[in-house]
Amino acid sequence: DSGVTQTPKHLITATGQRVTLRCSPRSGDLSVYWYQQSLDQGLQFLIQYYNGEERAKGNILERFSAQQFPDLHSELNLSSLELGDSALYFCASSVELADYNEQFFGPGTRLTVL
């Protein structure tokens, strides 16, 4: 167990709908990353938050948004869902020291868009 929690584990929804994925980082970690992993694909970086502020953006669609709350949990909002959005969504939190930055991944949320 990495100490990072994600809910829900599975989500099945229809095209055009909106969903919210939730992530709680490890205690003490200020940074949260979101990744999308489609079947047999790599980890596509979506967005990073650090202590409530957006720090970096990757290939995140405009239909997707995220935020990090004062208690450091983060939510990823996916709207106007398309079939191609079906994927495993991971969040990770990290220690972020000057020369050590291990990322601890949550178990993921498997999203199926029908």
Partner 1 sequence: GENVEQHPSTLSVQEGDSAVIKCTYSDSASNYFPWYKQELGKRPQLIIDIRSNVGEKKDQRIAVTLNKTAKHFSLHITETQPEDSAVYFCAASQGTYKYIFGTGTRLKVLA
Instruction: Decide: is 55 part of the binding site for partner 1 (CB under 8 A).
Output: yes
Closest CB 113 distance from partner 1, rounded Å: 19
Per the DSSP assignment, residues forming a β-bridge with 19 are 78
Residues 58-87 that bind partner 1 (CB under 8 A): none
8 A C-beta contact, residue 78 and residue 19: yes
Return residues touching partner 1 (CB under 8 A). Answer: 2, 31, 33, 42-43, 45, 48, 50, 55-56, 90, 94, 96-103, 105-108
